[in-house]
Amino acid sequence: MTRLSDSLRGLADRAPLDEVSVSTPAATRRINRNRRLHTAANATAGLGAAAVIALAAIHPGMDTLSSADSAANPESATSGEKAMAPGFDAAGSSQLAWGLCGSRPFDYEVPMASDTFTLTLGEMNGEMEPGSTATAQLTLLGATGADLAYNYTAQGTALLVLWDGLVVGTGQDASVVGTQGLSDGASSWDTPIDLVNCWDGTPLPGGAYELVAYQDFYPEATTDPVEPTLVPTDPTITPTEPSPPLGAPDEPTPIIDAPAPAPGEPGVTEGGSATGGGTSHSGATDAVAPAPGFVGPPAEAPALRAVSNHVKLTVSGDVVDNPFGEYIDQPAPAVVYPDDYLDPATARDEFTARAVSGTWDMAAGTQRVTKTGDSLGANNENSWLEGYYGCSADGTTAPDFPVTSAEWPLLKVDAKLPGSVGVSYGWVVDGNPEVKLTITNTSGYTLPGFWGQPNSMLYLVKGGKVVATSYLSPTDPYGLNTANSTDGMFAPDGSLSDTFLWRDVNGCWTGDSQSTVGPGTYTVLSEQDIYLDNGSVSPGGPIYYEDGAKRSIENPALGKDTAVTSSGASAETSIGIAPAPNPYPGDFEWLSFQVWTSLGTVTVR
Amino acid sequence: MAAKLEGMERLVRERERALLGYAYVVCGDPYLAQDLVQDALVKTFSRPREGLPQVKVEAYVRRAITTIYVDKYRRQQRWSRVQHLFRPVIVQESTTPFSDLSADVATALADLPPRVRACIVLRFFDDLTVPDIATQLGLAPGSVKRYLSDGLRALELRLGSLDDAEHGLREEIAVDHQERKHS
């Protein structure tokens, strides 16, 4: 018999992911942009853009290309980086994060912009009532088949209501895109959009707005017809009969019936039959069930974005000054720390006074504090390695515990661990071992960054080297039943406690292989991060570093000529967030620690 | 903000493979998995979640992965009703090499509709309860039970009897209280 949970974890462990990676610089750029003008962006718009609606039928007669043809496309994947997902924008604005509520999408070059497809938005005549539903008239024209290098799939059209360039309302096309007119490469349809703001859904106040629509097109999977073959092809695996071509009219569907639609999902019907407006074709869902062994589009194919013309949209009512100020102009709350707050300068002195050198024996119950960052340090790209302890930082050698650490009883850590655990594919198996963690602030100072739960990570150590790490899974993962602190301050002698499930044991990676956590006894260390700052903020505002150059988040042009390397960034990362150093005035200081506590040993069965 | 994005970099540095693997189980495609993780990170860290403990960060990112995936499916479904009218659906041989029995599971999962698949992953990979899955995916608990039941039935047709199938339909997760005091 098979345990599904083990099988799923084995699948995750052995997933074919060698050619994909996550780009933190790209994610950081996107996050910076999202945070730039709003503090509570409505991610719904971005998520809405995630929908992919197949539109290849725009050019039913179009020839498909082989992978070799695709490889010859001049708009190939960004060189110098690992392969990115199709359509991924290495510059940082991927297809899914553009046009977010509160952003200014046209302040920058529109990512993926292309005129291959032309999206036209009809004029909006007359004044609209606040909170009413406007109807946008859209026309999509596609390039001729001869002009296209790929088949494309298209997203549902997204609508943006702009106020002075700021996205204040969003809508998502709720119907199948122009299916009736696709055969000639053109389609027209109406899409409603509610005239409410995208933060909390209140009616848009009176005033002059702009409406713009966009649609994203993705190169479709290679569609050269092939005969279904056995998947997988590994000869050691018992062959599985292939599914019949999905969608064959007389074949029984290989997928199970879909359950009843969930609340809030209009149009989703049992068995995939269609409801509502548009063409109804029962059973069509069966035709597009995920195909076993489906192969994604060629990585080098570019994604395209069609952006419509901007049209005026007038909402009746009194025009107010700064109508969205309450959403975008939230002043940063003043930082007021308690008198006994552990400020960076004091912490630096304490660390120096309590510093010890030499090997830590990691006896149960002992604790060491390591300094992992300091605003007064060198802060070059390798600074973070000085106090680093964990899996191999360079993929070759696991580091020893830092030579210099401090015997500084900042936190008392109590933990109830299982005496032994079974591990399979990096997962703790045979039940869900419970770990109860309690931390007590024994520093005599108020510490920041504690918001209701211990924030600890476990390390398995053998011979002084970390061999595996483990994130504990909260039994209340979203903190629904946890009394969270409002300011994150952890007062002296205060305690935080929570119960976790010990679910994963992640062997460290060396080169291209991940170490297996074999049977044996391991020392378990708990690690808790502490980040201190003095609350001062540079008048220039928060900055980030891009390719070694300083950028202001509020004003990307600021400091462009100042080359400063980021602190805390990995060697392969050229972007990071850091406090503003000189020439910015201000006295921002920061310091980061890791508190390591030995919890004794655990036996891996 | 500095601490927050350093937290993201650390999460990626230490958990990239795990997150990608999880996303792969959710969606079944390595490139889509990459996009899901990327967008889940952006979604998680774009919001000013002051004080989000490191231990919760991964949970948030995983949650975002499943919700983005299911949200995408909801929209795709609209097109799916008529897609077959315009072009043949072609099953293509995978070029993804598998070297172990994970392939059986991958193949079986690939036959599940996305929401069913998401429920299976959240139940058997994440050990979420039925109510938690319902909350996360915005579904009624009854729908989640139905998805789980249907999903397990389909998987057992492919994989044979599953040891933990019955456990998966229970309301709550089992917890092993075996423990030892450390301090």
A443, part of any domain: yes
Q: What is the distance between the alpha carbons of residues A12 and B100, in angstroms, rounded to a whole number? A: 12
Is A36 inside a domain boundary?
Answer: yes
Whether residue A563 lies inside any domain: the answer is: yes
Are A510 and A573 members of one domain? no
For A277, which residue in chain B has the nearest alpha carbon? B78
What residues in B contact A12, CB-CB < 8 Å? 18, 21-22, 24-25, 125
**Is A1 within the bounds of a domain?**
no
Alpha-carbon distance B57 to nearest alpha carbon in chain A (angstroms): 9
Mention every residue, 6+ apart, whose C-beta is less than 8 A from residue A419: A602, A603, B178, B179, B180
Same domain for A582 and A451, yes or no, is: no
Residues of B within 8 A of A455 (CB-CB) are: 53-55
A45 and A135 together in one domain: yes
Sign of CA dihedral B23, B27, B30, B32: negative
Confidence band of A590 (pLDDT split at 50, 70, 90): confident
| In a shared domain, residues A519 and A487 | yes
Nearest residue of B to residue A392 by CA position?
B14
Q: Is A4 inside a domain boundary?
A: no
Q: How far apart are CA B22 and CA B35, in angstroms?
A: 12
Distance CA B35, CA A574 (A): 21
pLDDT of residue B101: 53
pLDDT at A278 over 60: no
A85/A138 same-domain check: yes
Q: Identify the CA nearest to A159 among candidates A186, A190, A188, A128.
A: A190
Distance of alpha carbon B1 from alpha carbon B47, whole angstroms: 11
Indicate if A478 and A357 belong to the same structural domain.
yes
What are the chain B neighbours of A477 within 8 Å (beta carbons)?
Answer: 56, 59, 63, 132
Closest by CA position to B62, among listed B13, B143, B10, B121 = B121
Contacts of B47 in chain A (CB under 8 A): 40-41, 43
Residues in chain B: 183
> What percentage of chain B carries pLDDT values higher than 70?
65
Chain A and chain B share a number of CB contacts under 8 A equal to 509
Which chain B residue shows the shortest CA-CA distance from A283?
B81
Tally of domains within chain A: 4
| Over residues B133-159, mean pLDDT | 84
B-chain CB neighbours of A223 within 8 Å are 87, 90, 92
Rounded to whole angstroms, the Cα distance separating A68 from A271 reads 39
Report how far residue A174's alpha carbon sits from residue A135's, in angstroms, rounded to the nearest whole number: 12
Same domain for A102 and A218?
Answer: yes
pLDDT of residue A464: 93
B109 to A231, A254, B98, B158: CA distances (angstroms): 13, 12, 15, 9
Fold of the B101-172 domain: Arc Repressor Mutant, subunit A (1.10.10)
- CB contact (8 A) between residue B21 and residue A469: no
In a domain, A312, yes or no: yes
| Mutation site for B-interface testing, chosen from A17, A285, A436 by largest number of B Cβ within 10 Å | A17
Looking at the structure, do residues A582 and A497 belong to the same domain, yes or no? no
Contact B25 A433 (CB under 8 A): no
Q: Are A393 and A402 in contact (CB under 8 A)?
A: no
Highest mean pLDDT among A140-154, A393-407, B160-174: A393-407
* Interchain pair B160, A2: CB under 8 A: yes
Q: What's the predicted TM-score (pTM) here?
A: 0.44
Residues of chain A found within 8 Å of residue B16, distances taken between Cβ atoms: 21-22
Residue A40's CATH number: 2.60.40.1930
Q: Six-digit token pair at A377?
A: 């340090």
- Arithmetic mean of pLDDT, A467-496: 79
Best mutation target among B24, B78, B144 (most A Cβ atoms within 10 Å) is B78
Q: How confident is the model at residue A478 (pLDDT cuts 50, 70, 90)?
A: low
Mutate to test the interface with B, among A11, A392, A476, A530 (most CBs of B within 10 A): A11
Are the beta carbons of B160 and A600 separated by less than 8 Å?
Answer: no
> What DSSP string runs through A504-541?
B-EEPEETTEEPP--SEEEEEEEEEEEEEE-----TT-
Least trusted range by pLDDT, from A8-17, A221-230, A264-273, A419-428: A264-273
Summarised one tens digit per residue, pLDDT across range B105-123 is 888 888 888 888 888 988 8
Burial class for A234, CB neighbours closer than 10 Å (0-12, 13-18, 19+) = middle
CA torsion through residues A328, B136, B28, B173, sign: positive
CA distance A317 to chain B (A): 32
Q: Is residue A128 part of a domain?
A: yes
Percent of chain A with pLDDT over 90: 19
Q: Do B5 and A280 touch (CB under 8 A)?
A: no
A589, B27, B135, B146 from A262: Cα distances, Å: 51, 20, 12, 11
Q: Do both A462 and A317 map to the same domain?
A: no
Which residue is it, tokens 């695709």? A70
CB A379 within 8 A of CB A576: no
- Shortest CB distance from A262 goes to which of B41, B90, B139? B139
Distance CA B77, CA B54 (A): 35
Please tell me the distance from the alpha carbon of residue A172 to that of residue A45, in angstroms, as a whole number. Answer: 8
Which candidate from A96, A243, A299 shows the least CB-CB separation from B31? A299
Task: Chain A: give the shortest CA distance to residue B87, in Å.
Answer: 6
A543 or A504: which carries more pLDDT confidence?
Answer: A504
Residue A166 lies in a domain: yes
Cβ distance of A451 and B53 shorter than 8 Å? yes
Which residues of chain A lie closer than 8 angstroms to B35, CB-CB? 85, 88, 94, 96
B181 has pLDDT over 60 = no
Are A12 and B21 within 8 A, CB to CB? yes
A282-297: b (≥16 Cβ within 10 Å) or e: eebbbbbbbbbbbbbb
A180 has pLDDT over 80: no
pLDDT in tens, B38-59: 888 888 887 655 556 666 778 8
Locus of tokens 């919700």: B67
Q: Quick one: A366 and A323 in the same domain?
A: no
Domain ranges of chain B: 1-82, 101-172
Query: What pLDDT does residue A220 have?
Result: 57
State whether A419 and A568 are in the same domain: no
Containing domain of residue A286, as a range? 257-291
**Per the CB < 8 Å rule, is B35 touching A94?**
yes
ipTM value: 0.76
* Residues A429 and A423: beta-carbon distance below 8 Å: yes
Bridge-based pairing state of the strands A355-357 and A404-406 = antiparallel
Top-confidence range, A180-184, A466-470, B29-33: A466-470
Q: How far is B85 from chain A (nearest CA, A)?
A: 9
- Per-residue pLDDT of A233-257, as tens digits, reads 333 333 333 333 333 333 333 333 3
First to last CA, chain B: 33
Taking 80 as the threshold, does the pLDDT of residue B156 lie above it? yes
Decide if B77 and A272 are in contact by the 8 Å CB cutoff. Answer: yes
| Distant-in-sequence, close-in-space partners of B51: CB < 8 Å, separation ≥ 6 | A449, A451, A452, A484, A485, A488
Selected residue with higher pLDDT from A565 and A175: A175
* A109 shares its domain with A29: yes
